[in-house]
Amino acid sequence: MSNITSETIKNSLRHIIDRDSGADVVSSGLISGIVVRAGEAGAKVGFVITIDPKDKDGKAYLRKACEDQVRLLAGVESVTAVLTAQNSEPIPPKPESGYAQPRERAVWNVTPVEGVKKVIAVASGKGGVGKSTTAVNLALALTQKGLRVGLLDADIYGPSLPRMLGLTEHSGKPPAIVDGKMIPPVNHGIQCMSMGFITGEEAAILRGPMISKTLHQLLRFSRWDNVDVLLVDMPPGTGDIHLSMVQQVPLAGAVIVTTPQEVALMDARKALKMFEKVGVAVLGVVENMSYFTDAAGNSIPLFGEGGGQRLADEMDVPFLGNVPIDMAIREASDNGTFYKGMCAVSYKQISERLLAAVR
């Protein structure tokens, strides 16, 4: 690889023209962070393409064009280009903020996840509202529509998807690695990756920076197999993992799960506003545990009525539907079996509205 240098890469990339400016990507200042490392059969090349966030859709072609161009060089074994988005203008300091210098805007990685077409976050802002149950059953409903579905367990501290998908035999047993990537275990037709496969029943004791790194590895170092929709089961809150997710992957949108009572709606509202602030489309609200049906067939709204619809109306986002309480869901989740009870119709309808929203 002695003939492959950063200058060699730059000269090659000068052949790639930015359609908007008419200038090459090197002269335009879009290329940075060129790295050349020795591989088994040649040079492993990596570099960063930085664009303005408003151009992320129109300039997505640059990543493939640049990678293909560098692959033409003799002696190159592999090429990885990371497309990031960063506003050209810094955020001016507010007079009351006390900042002496303007703050730099966040950098967003808009490089698609390999093997995945669309990534959708399932969030709630609050624990205990059935977010993971909703994510699993939406995944099951999507597989019934013939889609290839993946589930990423982003709750690093409290991973529950291995049990809910009947994959406990993989808990504490790190997935097989092929060509440097983990192979997600599969059950019910759903590809799944979770910290639970690595830690098992042990607690994950990690600080914030390690959480972000772990999420990155689970997301981008898994060999997703032609996944149409990857649902990400987010942890409660609006912390490090949420910010890392929106920075590391171009999300197709987010689904907010809540129960009808105001205590849950307060946190769901915060989660919804967080996604809006970082530019992620909110695809809709799902109201879980809306009611249960007694022996006489009466609907009993244990946690109040209409909270999810009110939240959707207030925030001007779609209401995807509600899901009643069914003991069989709890049993299916605990046992990792395919739920086919009374709520399956609700999940089917919600999945159809979700697909309509994301398309």
| Residue ranges per structural domain of the chain | 6-109, 116-358
pLDDT confidence of residue 102: 44
- pLDDT band at 105, cuts 50/70/90? very low
- pLDDT band at 261, cuts 50/70/90? very high
pLDDT confidence of residue 86: 65
Report the SS3 class of residue 163: helix
pLDDT at 254 over 80: yes
Q: What is the pLDDT of residues 90-101, one digit of tens each?
A: 444 444 444 444
Q: Quick check: do 6-109 and 116-358 share a fold?
A: no
Average pLDDT over residues 297-318: 91
- 191 backbone dihedrals φ, ψ, rounded to 5°: -80, 135
pLDDT at 224 over 80: yes
pLDDT confidence of residue 206: 66
Average pLDDT over residues 26-36: 88
Cα distances (angstroms) measured from residue 58 to each of 51, 54, 144, 213:
10, 8, 33, 29
Do 150 and 192 contact (CB within 8 A), yes or no?
A: yes
How much of the chain exceeds pLDDT 90, in percent? Answer: 47
* 180-185-189 Cα angle (round to 5): 130
Is 116-358 in CATH node 3.20.20.210? no
pLDDT confidence of residue 287: 96
Average pLDDT over residues 27-54: 85
pLDDT at 171 over 90: no
- pLDDT band at 205, cuts 50/70/90? low
pLDDT confidence of residue 109: 60
Distance of CA 229 to the CA centre of its chain: 10
DSSP code per residue over 180-209: TEE---EETTEEEEETHHHHTTS-----HH
Which CATH number applies to 6-109: 2.60.40.1080, 3.30.300.130, 3.40.50.2300, 3.40.50.300?
3.30.300.130
Q: How far apart are CA 149 and CA 140, in angstroms?
A: 8
**178-192, 194-208, 274-288: least confident range:** 194-208
